[in-house]
């Protein structure tokens, strides 16, 4: 397969290894900027159904767990070509601990403690998802360049709530109707119950304990002596340097032959380890912060959409408004958080010509100076002058719903794109079409003008298209997302583009097209956001997350604690503006700003 280009995208570079059912290759993703490395796993064309089920389980595990834990590889693709199935996953740059052992290296006591503190929270997480790894060993532990451990190869994993997993362990490779036990795991690393097809959470703990002992002694588990009467592993004699007796006790309990005498949960090991070694409690250093997956919701279908108005990282709390009657202005004024750091300014309060119901609007934008309002309904785009409430333009040039709207920085142009896979640029004053970019390849979900006004960027499916307004030519295509892109942001200097997708947030260089930074998975599902000097703020259905722009580290989480839902029939958001309408058809435009100290 070396040199083969799978699906026209993944270029196979070299073989990394092979197992009983699959082959593993290093590849490059030719679709993404700079063609990053990835790992391709190929399932051999075998009639054995168990192999296919295990392959599917691995893909499911990576898809569900990799999104929530940065110490588990991310699933990138899963497809079939002919009679073969392929799985593409994130490439983890680092050192395989088995290769490290082969170089004659050995763990110190400190190394062993650090490994346990790093891996046990991963096991605690996957076990909480009712998954058993069943193949923990040094070759499946990668030490990244930052020192953190990544657990790989979920090919032997088993969901406890999956009845087929029980069946597969009782099938014979040659005759699926027999009751022969199919042993899944690696000899030496798996306990007796796993060899009998009865693995549980403690089986993973046994494998981890045996792996740590091998890293300390350099001796393969199958070569370690066992007590003739008890069957327990006698490994201390292989140590070159004695260990603290408390750590020895913990390791011995991890590898007890009888699982009734063994640790049952990873949390139990962590508790003993912290108490015995005075190790730091696994917080952000050891355990990945896990935020529950968020459900997909329309961009304006939640109250926290108001947070697109946030103006600073110093904002405290989440704003929500509940309106069941009366005037919106009084409701907003009375329900703002009691903080001397925020300011609400009513920019416009007037009756507009030919108003539309805000709950029927699919996209909305306010010009940078706050004087123009654009709202799309079905195939039409309406523009009002907010100084006088006058409808100045009605643009009817799209064939389907306009889902993305944006003003140019000088408010002279407006862009609109939608389900018809067409992006149009109009002159605001004349209503004349200046540019039409057709056949985009997918519906447009977000659009943005670069501050130079020479570029317009559109989110088309999972990609970003950058168009030159002067020539009408497609200048760049950014590919890196694995889901719909909901919102686009640009830095103050106009050089960095931030795309907020269902999968995660990504930073790009508008100059070179280079992918600058991929933010953690918790940045995904953001409805909107804001770029500050030092931070990227993403807004989600459960609150706000604040990220360091340079490192991508999550700095702070602001949770939504309000119990009052927002009546979205009367409120819409655009950048730093809030647009409301009352029962008397008055439109109000509010600007929320930060009072700098």
Per-residue pLDDT reduced to its tens digit, 73-82? 999 988 888 7
User: Long-range pairs for 273-276 at CB < 8 Å and ≥24 separation?
Assistant: 273/113, 273/116, 273/117, 273/120, 276/244, 276/246, 276/247, 276/249, 276/250
pLDDT band at 281 (very low <50, low <70, confident <90, very high): very low
CB distance 530 to 289 below 8 Å:
no
pLDDT surpasses 90 at 363: no
Integer Cα distance of 77 and 93 in angstroms? 19
Nearest to 449 by CA among 512, 477, 407, 479: 407
pLDDT at residue 414 in the model: 96
CA distances from 197 to 49, 166, 254, 557 (A): 17, 8, 19, 43
Token pair listed for 321: 């408004």
CB distance 573 to 306 below 8 Å:
yes
Integer Cα distance of 441 and 444 in angstroms? 9
Integer Cα distance of 201 and 259 in angstroms? 10
More confident residue, 165 or 243: 243
Instruction: Identify the H or E element spanning 587.
Output: strand 586-594
pLDDT at residue 160 in the model: 86
Lowest mean pLDDT among 117-131, 226-240, 507-521, 549-563: 549-563
Diameter over CA atoms, the chain: 94
Architecture of domain 94-277: Orthogonal Bundle (1.10)
CB distance 289 to 69 below 8 Å:
no
Integer Cα distance of 431 and 412 in angstroms? 10
pLDDT at residue 465 in the model: 92
List of E strands, 107-156: 131-132, 141-144, 149-151
Its pTM surpasses 0.75: no
Residue 533 gets the label, from left (phi > 0), alpha (psi -120 to 50) or beta, of alpha
pLDDT at residue 558 in the model: 76
pLDDT at residue 331 in the model: 41
Q: What is the mean pLDDT of residues 285-292?
A: 32
pLDDT at residue 390 in the model: 79
Tokens 């040199």: give the residue: 3
Radius of gyration over every alpha carbon of the chain, rounded to an integer in angstroms = 28
Q: What is the mean pLDDT of residues 188-201?
A: 93
Per-residue pLDDT reduced to its tens digit, 210-225? 999 999 999 999 999 9
CA distances from 484 to 113, 304, 369 (A): 42, 19, 30
pLDDT band at 508 (very low <50, low <70, confident <90, very high): very high
Tell me what the pLDDT averaged over the chain comes to: 79
Q: What is the mean pLDDT of residues 86-93?
A: 93
Class of domain 315-336+345-582: mainly beta
Token pair listed for 140: 């499946």
Cα dihedral sign for 256, 260, 265, 267? negative
Catalytic residue numbers, as ranges: 135
pLDDT surpasses 80 at 370: no
pLDDT at residue 167 in the model: 38
Integer Cα distance of 425 and 456 in angstroms? 9
Per-residue pLDDT reduced to its tens digit, 16-42? 988 767 899 999 998 887 889 999 999
Integer Cα distance of 75 and 64 in angstroms? 9
Per-residue pLDDT reduced to its tens digit, 315-329? 322 233 323 233 333
Per-residue pLDDT reduced to its tens digit, 108-141? 999 999 999 999 999 999 999 999 999 999 999 9
* Portion of the chain with pLDDT greater than 90, in percent: 42
pLDDT at residue 296 in the model: 25
pLDDT at residue 232 in the model: 94
More confident residue, 29 or 587: 29
Integer Cα distance of 297 and 303 in angstroms? 11
Q: What is the mean pLDDT of residues 524-537?
A: 86
Nearest to 146 by CA among 83, 218, 71, 79: 71
CB distance 134 to 199 below 8 Å:
yes
pLDDT surpasses 60 at 591: yes
Return residue ranges of the chain for CATH 2.130.10.10.
Answer: 315-336+345-582
- Tell me which fold the domain 5-89 belongs to: Phosphorylase Kinase; domain 1 (3.30.200)
Return residue ranges of the chain for CATH 3.30.200.20.
Answer: 5-89
Nearest to 371 by CA among 352, 343, 344: 352
Nearest to 77 by CA among 167, 148, 145, 9: 9
Return residue ranges of the chain for CATH 1.10.510.10.
Answer: 94-277
More confident residue, 387 or 508: 508
Per-residue pLDDT reduced to its tens digit, 448-500? 999 876 899 999 999 999 999 988 888 888 888 888 999 999 998 889 999 99
More confident residue, 428 or 45: 428
Per-residue pLDDT reduced to its tens digit, 394-446? 998 877 889 899 999 988 999 999 889 999 999 998 899 999 999 898 999 99
Question: How many helices (H) and strands (E) would you count in the chain?
Answer: 9, 37
Integer Cα distance of 128 and 201 in angstroms? 10
More confident residue, 7 or 584: 7
């Amino acid at each position: 397969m070396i040199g083969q280009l799978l699906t026209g995208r993944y270029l196979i570079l070299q073989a990394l290894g092979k197992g009983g059912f699959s082959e593993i290759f290093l590849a490059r993703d030719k679709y993404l900027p700079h063609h990053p490395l990835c790992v391709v796993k190929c399932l051999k064309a075998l009639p054995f159904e168990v192999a296919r089920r295990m392959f599917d389980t691995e893909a499911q595990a990576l898809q569900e767990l990799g999104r929530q834990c940065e110490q588990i590889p991310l699933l990138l693709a899963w497809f079939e070509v002919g009679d073969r199935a392929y799985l593409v996953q994130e490439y983890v740059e680092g050192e395989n601990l088995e290769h490290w052992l082969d170089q004659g290296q050995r763990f110190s006591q400190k190394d062993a403690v650090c490994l346990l503190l790093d891996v046990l929270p991963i096991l605690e997480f996957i076990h909480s998802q009712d998954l058993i790894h069943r193949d923990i060993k040094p070759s499946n532990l990668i030490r990244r360049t930052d020192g953190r451990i990544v657990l790989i190869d979920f090919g032997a994993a088993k969901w406890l709530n999956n009845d087929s997993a029980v069946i597969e362990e009782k099938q014979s490779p040659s005759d699926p109707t027999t009751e022969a036990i199919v042993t899944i795991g690696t000899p030496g690393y798996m306990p007796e119950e796993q060899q009998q097809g009865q693995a549980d959470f403690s089986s993973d703990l046994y494998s981890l304990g045996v792996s740590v002992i091998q890293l300390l002694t350099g001796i393969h588990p199958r070569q370690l002596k066992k007590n003739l009467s008890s069957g327990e592993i006698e490994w201390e004699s292989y140590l070159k340097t004695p260990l603290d007796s408390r750590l020895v006790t913990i390791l011995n309990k991890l590898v007890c032959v009888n699982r009734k005498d063994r640790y049952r949960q990873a949390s139990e090991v962590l508790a003993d380890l912290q108490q015995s070694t005075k190790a730091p409690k696994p917080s952000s250093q050891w355990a990945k912060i896990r935020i529950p997956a968020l459900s997909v919701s329309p961009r304006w279908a939640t109250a926290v959409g108001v947070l697109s108005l946030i103006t600073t990282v110093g904002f405290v709390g989440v704003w929500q408004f509940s309106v069941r009657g009366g005037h919106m202005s009084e409701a907003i004024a009375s329900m703002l958080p009691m903080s001397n750091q925020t300011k609400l300014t009513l920019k416009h309060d007037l009756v507009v010509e030919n108003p539309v119901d805000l709950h029927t609007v699919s996209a909305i934008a306010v010009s940078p100076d706050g004087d123009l309002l654009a709202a799309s309904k079905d195939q039409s785009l309406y523009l009002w002058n907010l100084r006088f409430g006058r409808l100045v333009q009605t643009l009817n040039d799209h064939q389907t719903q306009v889902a993305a709207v944006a003003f140019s920085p000088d408010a002279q142009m407006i862009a609109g794109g939608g389900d018809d896979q067409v992006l149009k640029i109009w002159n605001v004053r004349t209503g004349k079409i200046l540019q039409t970019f057709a056949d985009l390849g997918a519906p447009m979900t977000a659009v943005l003008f670069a501050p130079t006004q020479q570029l317009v960027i559109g989110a088309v499916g999972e990609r970003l298209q950058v168009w030159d307004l002067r020539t009408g030519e497609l200048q760049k295509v950014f590919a890196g997302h694995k889901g719909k892109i909901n919102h686009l942001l640009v830095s103050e200097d106009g050089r960095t583009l931030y795309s907020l997708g269902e999968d995660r947030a990504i930073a790009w260089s508008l100059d070179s097209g280079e992918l600058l930074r991929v933010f953690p998975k918790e940045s995904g599902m953001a409805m909107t956001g804001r770029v500050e000097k030092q931070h990227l703020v993403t807004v989600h259905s459960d609150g706000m997350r604040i990220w360091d722009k340079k490192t991508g580290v999550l700095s702070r989480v602001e949770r939504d604690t309000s119990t009052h839902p927002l009546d979205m029939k009367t409120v819409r958001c655009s950048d730093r503006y809030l647009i409301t309408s009352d029962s008397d058809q008055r439109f109000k435009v509010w600007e929320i700003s930060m009072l700098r100290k």
